Amino acid sequence: MIGIFDSGIGGLSILRSIHKRHPQYRTVYFGDSKNAPYGSKSQDEIIDLTWEGVKFLFDQGAVLVILACNTATAAALRVIQQERLKDYPGRNVLGIILPTAEELVELEFDRIAILATPSTMASGSYLTEFNKLKPGMHITQHAPEDWVNFVEANETQQEAARASVKKHIDAVLKGLPDAQAILLACTHFPALLHSYPERIPIPIFAQGGIVAARLHTYLKRHPEIETNIERDGDHLYFTSGDVAHVSKAAEVFMGYTPRFEVNV
Ligand code: DGL
Protein backbone atom coordinates (compact mmCIF):
# COMPACT_ATOMS: atom_id res chain seq x y z
CA MET A 1 0.00 0.00 0.00
CA ILE A 2 1.09 3.59 -0.60
CA GLY A 3 0.29 5.84 2.36
CA ILE A 4 -0.37 9.54 1.86
CA PHE A 5 -0.19 11.86 4.84
CA ASP A 6 -1.26 15.48 5.25
CA SER A 7 -2.22 17.79 8.11
CA GLY A 8 -5.73 17.71 6.63
CA ILE A 9 -7.38 17.41 3.23
CA GLY A 10 -4.77 19.29 1.17
CA GLY A 11 -2.82 16.11 0.47
CA LEU A 12 -5.78 14.98 -1.61
CA SER A 13 -4.43 17.31 -4.31
CA ILE A 14 -1.43 14.97 -4.45
CA LEU A 15 -3.45 11.79 -4.01
CA ARG A 16 -5.68 12.65 -6.96
CA SER A 17 -2.67 12.92 -9.26
CA ILE A 18 -1.26 9.67 -7.90
CA HIS A 19 -4.58 7.93 -8.62
CA LYS A 20 -4.57 9.31 -12.17
CA ARG A 21 -1.02 8.29 -12.91
CA HIS A 22 -0.96 5.01 -10.94
CA PRO A 23 -4.58 3.77 -10.73
CA GLN A 24 -3.48 0.22 -10.00
CA TYR A 25 -1.83 0.84 -6.63
CA ARG A 26 -3.71 0.44 -3.39
CA THR A 27 -3.55 3.69 -1.42
CA VAL A 28 -4.41 4.75 2.10
CA TYR A 29 -4.84 8.43 2.95
CA PHE A 30 -4.68 9.95 6.39
CA GLY A 31 -5.45 13.63 6.97
CA ASP A 32 -5.00 14.97 10.49
CA SER A 33 -7.80 17.56 10.17
CA LYS A 34 -8.37 17.62 13.92
CA ASN A 35 -4.94 19.20 14.35
CA ALA A 36 -4.83 21.32 11.17
CA PRO A 37 -3.40 23.77 10.43
CA TYR A 38 0.14 22.61 11.13
CA GLY A 39 1.57 25.76 9.53
CA SER A 40 1.34 27.78 12.73
CA LYS A 41 2.66 25.04 15.08
CA SER A 42 6.18 24.58 16.47
CA GLN A 43 8.61 22.25 14.76
CA ASP A 44 8.49 19.75 17.63
CA GLU A 45 4.70 19.61 17.51
CA ILE A 46 4.77 19.05 13.75
CA ILE A 47 7.36 16.27 14.12
CA ASP A 48 5.29 14.46 16.76
CA LEU A 49 2.00 14.74 14.87
CA THR A 50 3.58 13.73 11.57
CA TRP A 51 5.27 10.68 13.08
CA GLU A 52 1.96 9.58 14.68
CA GLY A 53 0.34 9.88 11.25
CA VAL A 54 3.11 7.92 9.56
CA LYS A 55 2.90 5.13 12.16
CA PHE A 56 -0.86 4.95 11.65
CA LEU A 57 -0.31 4.50 7.90
CA PHE A 58 2.37 1.84 8.55
CA ASP A 59 -0.15 0.06 10.78
CA GLN A 60 -2.64 0.05 7.89
CA GLY A 61 -0.01 -1.74 5.79
CA ALA A 62 1.70 1.11 3.93
CA VAL A 63 5.24 0.23 2.83
CA LEU A 64 5.84 3.71 1.45
CA VAL A 65 4.46 6.92 2.96
CA ILE A 66 4.48 10.22 1.12
CA LEU A 67 4.30 13.33 3.28
CA ALA A 68 1.89 15.19 0.97
CA CYS A 69 2.41 18.25 3.10
CA ASN A 70 5.19 20.79 2.70
CA THR A 71 4.94 21.84 6.33
CA ALA A 72 5.43 18.26 7.56
CA THR A 73 8.18 17.64 5.01
CA ALA A 74 10.07 20.76 6.07
CA ALA A 75 9.81 20.03 9.79
CA ALA A 76 9.81 16.26 10.09
CA LEU A 77 11.16 14.41 7.03
CA ARG A 78 14.82 14.44 8.00
CA VAL A 79 14.19 13.38 11.61
CA ILE A 80 11.90 10.57 10.48
CA GLN A 81 14.29 9.32 7.80
CA GLN A 82 17.39 9.52 9.94
CA GLU A 83 16.12 8.53 13.38
CA ARG A 84 12.75 6.83 13.30
CA LEU A 85 12.75 4.35 10.41
CA LYS A 86 15.32 1.99 11.93
CA ASP A 87 12.57 -0.09 13.52
CA TYR A 88 10.65 -0.31 10.24
CA PRO A 89 12.83 -2.26 7.80
CA GLY A 90 11.54 -2.37 4.23
CA ARG A 91 9.52 0.83 4.63
CA ASN A 92 10.29 4.37 3.59
CA VAL A 93 8.94 7.91 3.94
CA LEU A 94 9.31 10.52 1.20
CA GLY A 95 8.70 14.27 1.16
CA ILE A 96 7.60 16.65 -1.55
CA ILE A 97 9.94 19.63 -1.29
CA LEU A 98 13.06 18.34 -3.05
CA PRO A 99 11.15 16.79 -5.99
CA THR A 100 9.25 20.03 -6.47
CA ALA A 101 12.41 22.15 -6.44
CA GLU A 102 14.11 19.72 -8.86
CA GLU A 103 11.21 19.94 -11.29
CA LEU A 104 11.18 23.74 -11.36
CA VAL A 105 14.95 23.89 -11.80
CA GLU A 106 14.70 21.40 -14.68
CA LEU A 107 12.17 23.74 -16.27
CA GLU A 108 14.90 26.41 -16.17
CA PHE A 109 13.10 29.02 -14.12
CA ASP A 110 15.28 31.66 -12.48
CA ARG A 111 12.69 33.80 -10.66
CA ILE A 112 9.95 32.09 -8.71
CA ALA A 113 7.34 33.35 -6.26
CA ILE A 114 6.43 30.77 -3.61
CA LEU A 115 3.22 30.62 -1.61
CA ALA A 116 3.51 28.42 1.49
CA THR A 117 2.48 28.17 5.13
CA PRO A 118 4.24 30.35 7.74
CA SER A 119 6.12 27.30 9.03
CA THR A 120 7.36 26.17 5.60
CA MET A 121 8.41 29.72 4.83
CA ALA A 122 10.26 30.11 8.15
CA SER A 123 12.03 26.77 7.68
CA GLY A 124 13.81 28.13 4.62
CA SER A 125 13.60 24.63 3.10
CA TYR A 126 12.74 25.79 -0.40
CA LEU A 127 15.47 28.43 -0.36
CA THR A 128 17.99 25.79 0.74
CA GLU A 129 16.96 23.27 -1.93
CA PHE A 130 16.82 25.81 -4.75
CA ASN A 131 20.13 27.26 -3.71
CA LYS A 132 21.78 23.82 -3.72
CA LEU A 133 20.35 22.94 -7.12
CA LYS A 134 20.85 26.29 -8.80
CA PRO A 135 22.65 29.01 -6.84
CA GLY A 136 21.56 32.54 -7.62
CA MET A 137 17.88 31.89 -8.26
CA HIS A 138 15.64 34.75 -7.23
CA ILE A 139 12.93 33.47 -4.90
CA THR A 140 10.28 35.36 -2.95
CA GLN A 141 8.06 33.70 -0.36
CA HIS A 142 4.58 34.65 0.86
CA ALA A 143 2.49 32.98 3.55
CA PRO A 144 -1.28 33.51 3.27
CA GLU A 145 -2.11 32.52 6.83
CA ASP A 146 -5.84 31.94 6.40
CA TRP A 147 -5.88 29.81 3.24
CA VAL A 148 -5.54 26.39 4.89
CA ASN A 149 -8.45 27.21 7.20
CA PHE A 150 -10.70 28.18 4.27
CA VAL A 151 -10.03 24.80 2.67
CA GLU A 152 -10.45 22.78 5.88
CA ALA A 153 -13.71 24.65 6.64
CA ASN A 154 -15.01 23.94 3.10
CA GLU A 155 -15.28 27.69 2.52
CA THR A 156 -13.28 28.03 -0.69
CA GLN A 157 -16.29 29.60 -2.44
CA GLN A 158 -16.98 32.18 0.28
CA GLU A 159 -16.39 35.87 -0.27
CA ALA A 160 -13.74 36.03 2.47
CA ALA A 161 -11.71 33.33 0.71
CA ARG A 162 -12.01 35.05 -2.67
CA ALA A 163 -10.93 38.37 -1.18
CA SER A 164 -7.91 36.77 0.47
CA VAL A 165 -6.87 35.02 -2.74
CA LYS A 166 -7.09 38.32 -4.63
CA LYS A 167 -5.11 40.15 -1.94
CA HIS A 168 -2.28 37.62 -1.75
CA ILE A 169 -1.92 36.92 -5.47
CA ASP A 170 -1.82 40.66 -6.14
CA ALA A 171 0.88 41.02 -3.47
CA VAL A 172 2.89 38.16 -5.00
CA LEU A 173 2.73 39.64 -8.50
CA LYS A 174 3.74 43.01 -7.12
CA GLY A 175 6.52 41.62 -4.90
CA LEU A 176 8.36 39.90 -7.75
CA PRO A 177 7.03 41.66 -10.85
CA ASP A 178 9.34 39.75 -13.17
CA ALA A 179 8.53 36.35 -11.62
CA GLN A 180 8.40 33.59 -14.23
CA ALA A 181 6.22 31.23 -12.20
CA ILE A 182 4.20 30.90 -9.01
CA LEU A 183 4.68 27.76 -6.93
CA LEU A 184 1.84 26.65 -4.68
CA ALA A 185 4.04 25.08 -2.00
CA CYS A 186 1.15 24.07 0.22
CA THR A 187 -1.01 21.19 -0.90
CA HIS A 188 -4.20 22.91 0.28
CA PHE A 189 -3.73 25.95 -1.96
CA PRO A 190 -4.76 24.52 -5.36
CA ALA A 191 -8.37 24.47 -4.08
CA LEU A 192 -8.44 28.26 -3.91
CA LEU A 193 -6.83 29.69 -7.01
CA HIS A 194 -9.87 29.31 -9.30
CA SER A 195 -11.47 32.31 -7.59
CA TYR A 196 -8.83 34.82 -8.70
CA PRO A 197 -10.90 37.14 -10.90
CA GLU A 198 -8.37 37.76 -13.67
CA ARG A 199 -6.08 35.68 -15.84
CA ILE A 200 -2.82 35.22 -13.93
CA PRO A 201 -0.13 36.16 -16.46
CA ILE A 202 2.48 33.53 -15.46
CA PRO A 203 2.30 29.76 -14.99
CA ILE A 204 1.17 28.43 -11.62
CA PHE A 205 2.55 25.13 -10.42
CA ALA A 206 0.78 22.80 -8.02
CA GLN A 207 2.60 19.71 -6.83
CA GLY A 208 0.28 16.80 -7.66
CA GLY A 209 1.57 16.07 -11.17
CA ILE A 210 5.17 16.60 -10.09
CA VAL A 211 4.94 14.18 -7.16
CA ALA A 212 3.06 11.53 -9.16
CA ALA A 213 5.72 11.61 -11.90
CA ARG A 214 8.59 11.44 -9.40
CA LEU A 215 6.87 8.56 -7.62
CA HIS A 216 6.98 6.63 -10.89
CA THR A 217 10.75 7.15 -11.11
CA TYR A 218 11.22 6.25 -7.43
CA LEU A 219 9.29 2.98 -7.73
CA LYS A 220 11.26 1.98 -10.82
CA ARG A 221 14.46 2.43 -8.87
CA HIS A 222 13.11 0.60 -5.80
CA PRO A 223 11.61 -2.73 -6.87
CA GLU A 224 11.96 -4.00 -3.28
CA ILE A 225 9.24 -1.47 -2.34
CA GLU A 226 7.24 -1.57 -5.57
CA THR A 227 6.71 -5.33 -5.48
CA ASN A 228 5.17 -5.00 -2.00
CA ILE A 229 2.44 -2.58 -3.11
CA GLU A 230 -0.91 -4.26 -3.79
CA ARG A 231 -2.34 -3.64 -7.26
CA ASP A 232 -6.10 -3.87 -6.70
CA GLY A 233 -6.77 -0.13 -7.09
CA ASP A 234 -8.41 0.01 -3.67
CA HIS A 235 -8.40 3.44 -1.98
CA LEU A 236 -8.90 3.99 1.75
CA TYR A 237 -9.43 7.36 3.47
CA PHE A 238 -8.93 8.16 7.15
CA THR A 239 -9.30 11.41 9.08
CA SER A 240 -8.90 12.53 12.67
CA GLY A 241 -11.62 15.13 12.03
CA ASP A 242 -15.37 14.97 11.54
CA VAL A 243 -16.07 12.26 8.98
CA ALA A 244 -19.11 13.86 7.33
CA HIS A 245 -17.57 17.32 7.11
CA VAL A 246 -14.21 16.07 5.83
CA SER A 247 -15.82 13.79 3.22
CA LYS A 248 -17.83 16.75 1.89
CA ALA A 249 -14.91 19.21 1.97
CA ALA A 250 -12.79 16.65 0.07
CA GLU A 251 -14.98 17.04 -3.03
CA VAL A 252 -13.12 20.18 -4.04
CA PHE A 253 -10.04 18.04 -4.67
CA MET A 254 -11.46 14.68 -5.73
CA GLY A 255 -14.51 15.68 -7.79
CA TYR A 256 -16.52 13.07 -5.85
CA THR A 257 -17.18 12.38 -2.19
CA PRO A 258 -14.63 9.94 -0.79
CA ARG A 259 -15.86 7.91 2.19
CA PHE A 260 -13.62 8.84 5.10
CA GLU A 261 -13.34 6.76 8.26
CA VAL A 262 -12.04 7.79 11.66
CA ASN A 263 -8.43 6.84 12.43
CA VAL A 264 -8.95 4.61 15.42
N1 DGL B 1 -1.01 21.08 3.33
C2 DGL B 1 0.08 21.51 4.13
C3 DGL B 1 1.29 21.92 3.30
O4 DGL B 1 1.45 21.49 2.19
C5 DGL B 1 -0.10 22.56 5.17
C6 DGL B 1 -1.34 22.76 5.87
C7 DGL B 1 -1.25 23.21 7.29
O8 DGL B 1 -0.78 24.31 7.61
O9 DGL B 1 -1.71 22.42 8.07
O10 DGL B 1 2.12 22.65 3.79
According to DSSP, the residues that pair with 261 across neighbouring strands are 238
Q: Which atom of ligand 1 is nearest to the CA of 186?
A: 4
d(CA 205, CA 207): 7
Ligand 1 neighbour 69 (Cβ under 6 A):
yes
| Average pLDDT value for the chain | 97
pLDDT at 214: 97
pLDDT at 226: 98
As a dihedral over the C-alpha atoms of residue 120, residue 122, residue 126, residue 128, rounded to 10 degrees, the angle is -140
Ligand 1 neighbour 188 (Cβ under 6 A):
yes
pLDDT digits (tens, 9 = 90+) for 242-263: 999 999 999 999 999 999 999 9
pLDDT at 45: 98
**Residue pair 191/13 in contact by the 8 Å Cβ criterion:** yes
pLDDT at 263: 92
- pTM, 2 dp: 0.97
Q: Which atom of ligand 1 is nearest to the CA of 10?
A: 1
57 CA → ligand 1 middle, Å: 18
* pLDDT classification of 235: cutoffs 50, 70, 90: very high
Contacts with 70 (C-beta within 8 Å, 6 or more apart), sequence order: 96, 97, 116, 117, 120, 125, 185, 186, 187, 207
pLDDT at 120: 96
Q: Identify the three-state secondary structure at position 148.
A: helix
**Residue pair 188/9 in contact by the 8 Å Cβ criterion:** yes
According to DSSP, the residues that pair with 262 across neighbouring strands are 239
Q: Which atom of ligand 1 is nearest to the CA of 96?
A: 4
Which amino acid appears at position 181 of this protein? A
Q: What domains, with CATH codes, occur in the chain?
A: 2-95+208-262 (3.40.50.1860), 98-205 (3.40.50.1860)
pLDDT at 43: 96
Alpha helices of the chain — where are they, by DSSP H? 12-21, 43-60, 70-79, 97-106, 118-123, 125-133, 147-152, 159-175, 208-221, 223-226, 243-249, 251-254
Active centre residues (catalytic): 69, 186
pLDDT at 10: 98
Ligand 1 neighbour 71 (Cβ under 6 A):
yes
Q: What percent of the chain has pLDDT over 70?
A: 100
**Residue pair 261/238 in contact by the 8 Å Cβ criterion:** yes
**Does 264 have pLDDT greater than 90?**
no
Once rounded to an integer, what is the mean pLDDT over residues 170-175? 92
DSSP classification of residue 134: S
d(CA 136, CA 103): 17
**Does 176 have pLDDT greater than 90?**
no
Contacts with 148 (C-beta within 8 Å, 6 or more apart), sequence order: 7, 8, 10, 36, 37, 39, 117, 186, 188
112 CA → ligand 1 middle, Å: 20
Once rounded to an integer, what is the mean pLDDT over residues 107-121? 96
* pLDDT classification of 195: cutoffs 50, 70, 90: confident
DSSP classification of residue 250: T
Once rounded to an integer, what is the mean pLDDT over residues 122-126? 97
pLDDT digits (tens, 9 = 90+) for 132-157: 999 999 999 999 999 999 999 999 99
